[in-house]
Each structure stands twice: as structure tokens, then as C-alpha cells.
Amino acid sequence: MPDASFAAWSRERQQRIEGVLERVLPGADAIAARLASAMRYAALGGGKRMRPLLVYAASEVTHAEVAAADACAAAVELIHAYSLIHDDLPCMDDDSLRRGKPTCHVAYDVATALLAGDALQSLAFAVLAARPGSDGHACHVLAEAAGPLGMAGGQQLDLDATGTALGADSLAQLHMMKTGALIRASVHLGAHCGRKMTSDEADALDRYASAAGLAFQVVDDVLDVEGSSATLGKTAGKDAAQRKATFVTLLGLDGAKARAESLREEAHAALAPLGTDARRLAELADWIVLRNR
């Protein structure tokens, strides 16, 4: 696993993004107080904050000041929080546990949870648009990652594939959209917070993000089989219960673990030309593959 300095760095960044989210989310004095409460319930006080960590790590490659990456880090986490609310709804996965506590629609109600997801999504773009010097590029990147060519489209492919057998290419495409698109956007947005990149640097980061994003999903599939609900903070074993296509069903448990390790090697190889500036990204690739939740 990554060393103690990475643990300290990630803990500091996790605390930082918690503070940023606290500031941008509506407070208890909001006109729609129940909606604001549901948004804060879903977005604060839990989760790995992997996507914001990727933003901050990628921003170090281009020597950005940490504060310059705050808005992008908050925006990707708000999109992620919205996606989890909607993913857990009765019309989707119908789950009752997320981040070790009742899902948003269980803690509130289905209609309020739906609105909270909608509001978190719109808030993400408001945060990006309010950045100093915003030119619309960041909003475009995030919108593409969250839309029909990214997360939403991947979720539809996942729904369509339930109960069917997918080949390796189709399964990878599904997850490169559903999970990988927002991870790639996190790296892209973070890197654009600093100096202008060369085309070779941008290509290296995209190859890294593609490998890391797919690795994250492969490991999630493994943990759904091997992990417990208490450790994961969400319902374990639900992929099999819902007859979902996964890398474990396709490759077997050992094969999926080998695929995750291969993707970790791809991620490291992509970063090699970037030197020590990409240290935190390399450590995040290790953490993604070696984690237990």
C-alpha cells in the first residue's frame, strides 16, 4: 500500500474537500430546508473522496496551487453524490445502505432524494461556472462525463445488460462510461488547474485515467464478492443477486484480480514520463487496486 506520507496527504485533502463542500452546499437556513438537509446528508461526512483526490493529485502535475483545484474537486464529488442517490433509488438498484448509513431515499423519502440528486448535479455546474477565469471548458468536460456518452449512458447500458452475458469489450465499454468517465474527468480537470500541458502530457494522463478508472470498477466487482456490508459501507453481494454482468462473472475471481493488477501496471507505465510530479497519482493507482472497501 502507499506509504505514510500518502496517508497524511490524502487525509489532509479529504478534510479540505469536506470544508469546501460545507461552504458550497445550502445550509439549514435554506428556503427548501428539507431538500438542503438531504443534499448535505448525501454529500458530507462519508465516502473515500477518491475523485477529489484525483483532482488534487493531477493538479500537482501542472504545479497548480491547491486552492485552484478546490472548485473542480467539489464539482466532481457533487456529481458523484448525485449519482449515488439516483443509483440507490427503487427504480434503479433499490438499495438501503450507502456509506454505512441508510440511503438518502430511506432516510428522507423517494421524492426528496430524487430532488436532492437533481440539485447536487446543478450545484456542481454552478460551482464550476463561478471559478475565477472560468471559460466554460470545465463545465463541458464534466457535462460530457456525466451525460449520455459517460455516466448516464453507462448506467443505461448496465440496466440493459442485467441478466445477460457480456463479452470483455462490451463490459469494459460499459464501465469506461459508467464509472471511468467521471474518473477521467477528475484527472483532466485537476491537470487543467495549473500550467498548460503538452500534448504528450495530456495523453499520458488520459491513459493513466482510463486504466485507473477501469481498475476501480474491476476491484469493486471483486469486493462485492469478497467484502462484507460492514466493511464496504454498502450492500455486499448485490451484483450476483441482481444478476449483473461483472468482471468476476466474466473472468472469475482470480482472473478479475489479475486484470486489476494489469491495469495498475498500465497506470504506472503511463505516468512514467511525468516523473515525481505524478507521485500522488501513482499512489492513488496503488490504493485503487489494493483497497478493501
pLDDT average, residue stretch 255-274: 97
Q: Distance (Å, rounded) from C-alpha 13 to C-alpha 7? A: 10
Going from the N-terminus, what domains does the chain have, and what CATH number goes with each?
4-290 (1.10.600.10)
Q: Distance (Å, rounded) from C-alpha 213 to C-alpha 146? A: 14
pTM: 0.94
pLDDT of residue 236: 62
Has residue 292 got a pLDDT over 90? no
User: Nearest Cα to 83, choosing from 49, 121, 53, 39?
Assistant: 121
Q: Distance (Å, rounded) from C-alpha 230 to C-alpha 153? A: 30
| Per-residue pLDDT tens over the stretch 122-140 | 999 999 999 988 889 999 9
Average pLDDT, the chain: 93
Q: Tell me which residue has cell 423519502.
A: 109
| Per-residue pLDDT tens over the stretch 266-279 | 999 999 999 999 99
| Per-residue pLDDT tens over the stretch 67-95 | 999 999 999 999 999 999 999 999 998 99
Q: Which three cell numbers stand for residue 291?
A: 483497497
| Per-residue pLDDT tens over the stretch 97-109 | 998 899 999 999 9
pLDDT of residue 230: 60
| Per-residue pLDDT tens over the stretch 214-227 | 999 999 999 988 87
